[in-house]
Chains A and B, each alone.
Chain A
Amino acid sequence: MLEITTTRHNHMIDPILSVWGWEIPVYLFLGGMVAGMMLISGYFLFKGRYKETNCSCYYLPIMSLVLLSVGMFALFLDLEHKLYVWRLYTTFQVTSAMSWGSWILILVYPILLANMLMSPHKLIVEKVPIVKKWQEYLLSKPLLIKNLGVVTMFFGAGIGLYTGVLLSSLGARPLWSSAVLWLLFLISGLSGAAAFVHVIAKNVYERELLAKADNAFLIIELFIIALFIIGLKTATEVQAHAADLLLFGEFASSFWVFVIGIGIIIPLIIQLLAVNHKIHHTPIAPLLVIIGGLILRFIIVAAGQYSHWFALN
């Protein structure tokens, strides 16, 4: 889409915006996952869990790097003027969420690379021997690692909330003009990432911890969705209509069944039973959480584009 199109006085935006395809939701989802993974990885660094050799903080940064690049590639595919993407980095506009986002995304890369210094791949050490020195320096300074953890968490949270702010800043769409959308995307990213790390974690303690954390995130997510809906319902008429799209309108079946049912409540029940040792841990519940997170982005983007300011006749 045209990058300047943020108000409804532009071409292609009224009454229904229908220019965003699969790229944006996929990017928002991957951005959220990376945000959650950075928060988890940063937290483990901060708590000193890196002393355990199988700590997930050793492989989460590289995974985040790959996922983020895939997400940014999807975003790039969506750009109207692909060749001018570099121009985003010739300026910084305080009032533009897009400008904030592009800068945060660029800054995240060196942070993730610094995280990867904790245990660089053998091949890289062979090719660039100086990396070994940097690694030794980093490992000899526990306070530095603690601070790296804090910075990682900070920027992780930055990406997570930015994915929501990006939509909120588009005032022309009633469904997105909510003050909790960023919180919803951040917590959804966290729950997805916790589920993902729960499945891949090699460390048993981390696995148990993340299953419990994921349950907490899912419960909080339910509350935030409720806040999101209540906020819209009690705002202007157009926003109440936008909320109805999710509650019993065009998107109700996908919203209730896939986001609330399959994405939150059912995995929550399964994981609550699992952490209480009533049933075995299986990757089914985490998988449902991740699918639910992806569908949430698709529905918010699609329903948001569909929601509009005046009645269609």
Chain B
Amino acid sequence: MLKFKEWFSHHHEDNAMEGHITQKHYTNPYLIGLLLGIVLLSTFLIMGRGLGASGVLSTAVSVAVDKVAPSQTENNDFYKGYLGDGTKNPFKDWLTFNILGAVLGGFISGAISGRNKLMVEKGPRFSKGKRFLYAFIGGSLMGFGAKMARGCTSGQALTGGAMLSVGGWAFMIMVFVGAYGMAYFVRRQWT
């Protein structure tokens, strides 16, 4: 029987049978950029809109707040925007299905490249607990910032960037400014 730990790695008994499946290298960044551009372009051509990722989290938060304290969402345009008019499930949305696909696409790619593994991404000198804390803090800032800017790296920088949107470009420049400005202070986490 498979243990939870093995969900992302493999059966021990199969090792002999399967031989060693090596981890493949990441693909050339310019090729990846070209492919990502084609995915983005197809989205424009087929749907007339771009990609987005943070919308799903907003829907989840709005639904949760609506369940716990409906009075909170009633007078709040931000939550109401994600809840819709109540005629359909808020999760039955373009962005939800998009991210669901991305999760599975990532899994398939990781499986083929031998990179699916339960692990924590951090530098060697950083503890796991602190990494989790930093991830949570970073995530919170990202969530707040993405909502303030009306979109995240996918929605504003990529989509807006390709459409030459003023807001998209202003956003993208500030993302790099913020990240480079902060990088020095959290270097122990990564190096």
Contacts and interface: CB of A to CB of B under 8 A. Distances in A.
A and B, direct touch (CB closer than 8 Å):
yes
Interface of A: 199-202, 204, 207, 253, 257, 262, 266, 269-270, 273, 277-284
Interface residues on B, range: 20 to 34
Output the residue of B2, B9, B13, B92 with the most chain A CB within 10 A: B2
Contacts of A207: 11
B92 A280 contact: no
Given A204-B14, A270-B111, A282 B6 contact: yes
Q: Of A257, A262, A280, A284, which is in contact with the most chain B CB atoms at under 10 Å from its CB?
A: A280
B189 interface: no
B7 A277 contact: no
B100 interface: yes
B1 A199 contact: yes
Given A200-B1, A279-B21, 4 more contacts: A277-B17, A277-B18, A280-B111, A282-B2
A270 B110 CA distance: 11
Given A200-B1, A270-B111, A280-B14, A257 B100 contact: yes
Contacts of A200: 1
A204 B6 CA distance: 15
Interface SS of chain A: helix, strand, loop or mixed? helix
CB-CB nearest 9 A-B residue pairs: A280-B10, A277-B18, A279-B111, A204-B13, A283-B2, A200-B1, A282-B7, A281-B11, A199-B2
Nearest to B9: A280
Interface in B93-118: 97, 100, 104, 107-108, 111-112, 114, 116
A283 B11 CA distance: 10
25 contacts: A199-B1, A199-B2, A202-B1, A204-B13, A204-B14, A207-B11, A253-B97, A257-B100, A262-B104, A266-B108, A277-B17, A277-B18, A278-B112, A279-B112, A280-B10, A280-B11, A280-B21, A280-B111, A282-B7, A282-B8, A282-B9, A282-B111, A282-B116, A284-B7, A284-B107
B19 interface: yes
A281 B108 contact: no
Contacts of B116: 282
Contacts of A253: 92, 97
A204 B2 CA distance: 11
